[in-house]
Chains A and B, each alone.
Chain A
Amino acid sequence: MDARDRLPVLVAGGGLAGLRAALDLAVAGQEVLLIEAGTRLGGGAAHLAALVQTGQPVQALVAELAQAVAAHPRLTVRFGCRLESVTGAPGELCAVLGQTGEGSTEQIRVAAVILATGCSPFQPGGLDFLAYGVVPDVVTSLSVETMLAADGGVVRPSDGCPPRSVAFIQCVGSRMHQPEERPACSAVCCAVSVRQALALPQARRTLYAMDLRAHVAGTQEALNQAEAQGLTVRYARPHTLAAGPDGRGVTFRFIDQQGTECQDAVDMAVLAVGIGLSAANRAMLDASGVELGRGGFVATDPYAPVATSRPGVFVAGTLGGPGEASLASVQGSAAALEALAAVRVSPPPREPLPVLVLGGGAAGLACSLGLAGCGQRVTLVEASARLGGHPRKHPTVWKGRETKEAVAQMAEAVQSLPGITVMTDARLIAAAQTPQGWTGSLATPLGTQEIAFGAAVLALGSGEARPDEYLLGRDPRVMTQLEFENWRRTHPEPDDTPQTVVFIQCVGSRQRHGFTACARVCCAQALCAAVELKKSRPGAQVAVFYRDITTPGESEDLYTEARRLGVLFFRYDPERAPRVERLGADLAVTGEDILLGRSVRLRPDRLVLAVPVVPVGLAETAALFALPTTGPGFLAPVHPVLLPVDLPRPGLFAAGLCLGPKPLDESVAEAQAAAMRAIVYLAGRS
């Protein structure tokens, strides 16, 4: 064994991401030092009353994970210990640790570092118009969460009484450029406010939002339920919060979308505060030469979503950008995989059986590469004739990277690695569990072939719905987003760029019944296309009809860029959706400009519909493994937050769109996480 093998991996931060990374690494055979600046494990998740995804309590589950970490023999936990900087080359990094409350520091050598120190909530005191700290009954979402988690229930500070009316004010310290630069959407606040509203059924509840972003799984359903109970969503921003009579309650004025002057008087106003890096974290990252992105979080690449600019240093959780708790678990496992690959010097004893990866798309490729990078043999099975899957399911360019090119590079790398056996035109037609793992039958052009595998990762992708709406399929100018992206790819010249393009969002998603969820990726995808159009032809008329522009996290940048380029946005009420018809030879879209109270008509050359991502062909594979699926038919993980890529059969994992719609970087992170979970599973068995 090389000396470097004995160096531990340093995991900084004992929240969900850090715990998951540390435990996965330890079970996989790696020595781990976990440092936590505070006095307990669990991070932000330990404060939560309920998971936003499920509405269920989470503290017992987090405690269970923390116990497993504390009990593992290869894992050392140090409390009150803060990472000050990391320097040096991968494999032998130098970490400077500081003791909380003491000036002394200590240097240690570590093999790799996972940064999972999380974020801090925005302090709203600087926004004078919100009167936080001045009007007693203006509170933050954090304090409501703490009250909900405790037994006393939610009370207002002025008199300790349960509030009979509550206003939730969104985007406090998010999506703003002044007085502080905090451009990113904090990604979870809408979901949190909706859950908090549901938990206060006795109160009259109003949610004041810029956009109600329901991209976190379960949120749209929770919103539907809350609205059925009387929650009102208002697209307005109160300006000056003042104390009510006798200093109790909160009053404010706001102007609704129609321009009418309105007043509200509530017992309590809840500021949905966003997140950002703490000064201490910024100093640590600066001292370590780790670059930040435009949104002010650690910069990553969509195809290496947990790698930082410093080799050997990885990031998981909100330090790398806002995201829900499930993403922290995913990134924790993904960072563990990257760290394991970075510290590996001699190959471990090979597992006699390969890991079967089903699906050669972006997720399947990333997963195979991840497994191979840790010395694990892989059989990659793809149903179509070639690898690369369907990069056209994703925007042409995502976060500055050309999708097709990047996926092609991954495919090339997969084909060049000796540890990966690639089988195209092959389908799994049978699977059975054995004492050693699994056996299965593959239908290939050369006939049926039997395989044995220790674990499997399902990265089966998904397809696009084709609802019979807005003349889709009846007029060649009406296209889905994928069709439009593909059409643009074959017509890339500026002269090909249409003069007028209209996008309609939420076509067949966010329904009251049936497909209730937000389809998550369509807003970013439409905006990518809109930006591309405006750049290619600045004079083009590009309009987006939307319900709530949903660009969580740093993808908010896209929305800002699109507006600055002159893309026009029209919010529509689902009860009054835009009308599409043929007027003579023209395709006409007639909608309403709610802010001006006037109808608008555009005659687009192309009408692009944001249809949801839906499972295609998943049912058969799920049936082969006797796996459960969710309502819309995606694969259901063991736990949506704590074990989001583990499937409820031994040795089976999943990644990418077959678990539900998500942007490319999250698919890749899931693929890496599934690879790590498979390694952990195999290590646990041997």
Chain B
Amino acid sequence: MEPLELAVASPELQDRLQALDVRSCLGCGACASGCPIPGTPGMEGFDPRVAVRLLAMGREAEAAASPFPWVCTSCGRCSHVCPMGIDLTAVFSLLRGLVPRANVPGTLEKGVASVLETGNTLAIPLEDFLDTLSDIGGELAEEECPGFYVPVDKQGADLLVFLNSKEVFGDFDDLKWWWRIFYNARENWTVPSRNWEAEDWGLFTGNPDVSLVLARRKLDLMRSLGAARLLIPDCGGGSYGCRMGLKTCALQDPSRQVDAVYFYDYLLERIASGRIRLDPTRNAGRTYVWHDACKHGRELERHFGKGYYDEPRAILAACVGQENVVAMDPDRANNYCCGAGGGNWPMPFEKESAAHGRFKVAQLEACRADVVVVGCANCRDQLQKRLPRFYPGRCRYEVKYLWQLVAETMIATPWSQTEIEAAQERSRLQQRHFQAELDGGF
């Protein structure tokens, strides 16, 4: 092999790399030692240290052209131990951004184009969206929550809620957990009719401009709907990207700061105030473990000063009783990623994502929990669908969302006939309003 000629990065990139302090890298390899990518078949020769080294040598094109930035789940175990405090996940996100958009793997870029154009990554039209809410809401009302409907574009709600598009698209039952909580807590909530999606795929494609657009939409909706608080949603891209975007917006224009509440804090509030009452005896006889999602714990702590480690554990303990809770080792800020972070649930690197999850499988085996409780949709899918396929016989656990567990543990607080009738009336008015809008050609 010919000796490597050293190159110099473009001045613009130099500035961005400089801002990320990439050159301060000591090459110590702490990042690599914590990264699941080394040892992943097909990923030989790639690790965070190598990527940073290539950047130092002015060979960013080589680093960006490799699968590394995509296979990286931006879990942040690398940054967690970097003695220089380099924000490596931001560096790899920057590498994703250097890739020509046509070369972004899988459906990510398509999803981004779609969300920019239609308001959601799956291009679900307004009519279908409203039908789904109406049908699934109707089901829930019939099953156990008489009077339930999904308030859309309700002015002056206490809580503005965004939805996960894959639930609206097909995983309908997953919508109901939160709805049951809102019903029983008698929440004054609403969802927007447009731009209702929680996810932020700009985060996955390394395009901060997209994240900013999506955050602005959420802010605009808060204002136009006159909502009191924004519920920061669950899924990794959603919660973290949303926060990032909101932070940038607030930096650009302080008047655009909105009151937001992370769903963990929301649940804790409602449990503390007694609006959600729990019966932990329903969950007795099984053991439960909390899986710290990278973007809810470690990465949130790194970028926003506080990781959510204790809040979900408090909710879990309230649901199942502390005596039924076990722990993974390591956990909290040093937890292993499920392997689906950074867009690796939808991305076409299945084998690599599953290999990443080998540490998670081993951790779960060792802690022998019957139920893994998660706070992120991508973690849920990875643990429930992908890992059992790749590690047959080793994934003997059930996966539950934390809010699912809350919904299942919650003691129902039935509505009065007056409440039910009032709600049904509001639902009729809402339907009429949207029917007129749709007929009018919107």
Contact = CB atoms under 8 A, between A and B. Distances in A.
Contacts of A564: 21, 23-24
A599 interface: yes
A600 B6 contact: yes
A593 interface: yes
A633 interface: no
Nearest to A601: B3
A600 B7 CA distance: 11
A602 B26 CA distance: 21
A287 interface: no
A475 interface: no
A237 B33 contact: yes
Contacts of B50: 259, 595-596
Interface stretch (B236-244, B325-333, B341-349, B380-388): B325-333
Given A596-B54, A600-B6, A177 B29 contact: no
Interface string B84-106: 11000000000000000000000
A210 interface: yes
B367 interface: no
A230 interface: no
A177 B26 CA distance: 12
A259 B44 contact: yes
A108 B38 CA distance: 63
Interface stretch (A69-77, A250-258, A325-333): A250-258
A260 interface: yes
Given A176-B83, A178-B83, A568 B29 contact: no
B45 A259 contact: yes
Given A564-B23, A595-B50, A242 B45 contact: no
Interface string B1-32: 10111101000000000000101111111101
B80 A129 contact: yes
Interface string B58-85: 0000000000000000000100111111
A236 B8 CA distance: 27
B23 A235 contact: no
Contact of A539 (B8, B23, B333): B8
A524 B80 CA distance: 29
Nearest to B84: A177
Nearest to A171: B83
Contacts of B29: 235-237, 254-257
Interface in A259-316: 259-261
A259 B1 contact: no
A566 interface: yes
A679 to B, nearest CB: 44
A253 B4 contact: no
Given A257-B29, A595-B50, A599-B4, A128 B34 contact: no
A564 B14 CA distance: 11
Given A239-B77, A599-B1, A175 B47 contact: no
A595 B24 contact: no
A596 B47 CA distance: 10
A436 interface: no
Interface in A582-619: 590, 593, 595-602
A593 B4 contact: yes
Contacts of B83: 171, 175-178, 210
Contacts of A236: 28-29, 33
A590 B77 CA distance: 35
Contacts of A543: 6
A309 B26 CA distance: 33
A37 B46 CA distance: 52
Nearest to B336: A240
Interface in A568-591: 568-569, 571, 590
Contacts of B44: 259
A390 interface: no
A384 interface: no
B26 A175 contact: yes
B295 interface: no
A129 B8 CA distance: 35
Contacts of A239: 30, 33-34, 77, 81
A599 B27 CA distance: 17
B49 interface: yes
A541 interface: yes
Contact of B27 (A129, A260, A595): A595
A560 B84 CA distance: 9
Contacts of A560: 24, 84
Contacts of A596: 4, 50, 53-54, 57
A203 B77 CA distance: 31
A238 interface: yes
Nearest to B43: A259
B39 interface: yes
Contacts of A590: 3
A210 B8 CA distance: 26
A252 B77 CA distance: 15
B293 interface: no
A237 B30 contact: yes
Contacts of B77: 239
B329 to A, nearest CB: 7
Nearest to A210: B28
A236 B23 CA distance: 19
A535 interface: no
A260 B39 CA distance: 7
B431 interface: no
Contacts of A593: 4, 53, 57
B24 A259 contact: no
B335 to A, nearest CB: 10
B334 A240 contact: yes
B85 A569 contact: no
Contact of B33 (A127, A254, A571): A254
Contacts of B24: 560, 563-564
A224 B28 CA distance: 23
Contacts of B5: 601
A493 to B, nearest CB: 23
B369 interface: no
B56 interface: yes
Given A539-B8, A563-B23, A596-B53, A255 B85 contact: no
A542 to B, nearest CB: 11
Interface string A131-160: 100000000000000000000000000000
A129 B330 contact: yes
Contacts of B28: 171, 210, 235-237
A114 B27 CA distance: 40
Nearest to A571: B27
Contact of B6 (A563, A571, A602): A602
A682 B230 CA distance: 80
Contacts of A597: 45
B3 A237 contact: no
Given A568-B56, A595-B50, A596-B53, A128 B6 contact: no
A210 B26 contact: yes
Contacts of A601: 3-5
Nearest to B49: A595
A235 B32 CA distance: 12
Interface string A516-555: 0000000000000000000000010101000000000000
Interface string A224-244: 000000000001111110100
A678 B56 CA distance: 52
A168 to B, nearest CB: 15
Contacts of A175: 26, 83
Contacts of A261: 38-39
Contacts of B330: 128-129, 131, 240, 242
B23 A566 contact: yes
8 contacts: A128-B333, A129-B81, A210-B26, A238-B33, A255-B35, A255-B38, A259-B45, A541-B6
Closest 9 A/B residue pairs (Cβ): A239-B34, A178-B85, A601-B3, A261-B39, A255-B32, A237-B30, A239-B33, A176-B83, A254-B33
Given A563-B23, A563-B25, A597-B45, 6 more contacts: A177-B84, A178-B84, A210-B28, A239-B81, A254-B33, A565-B23
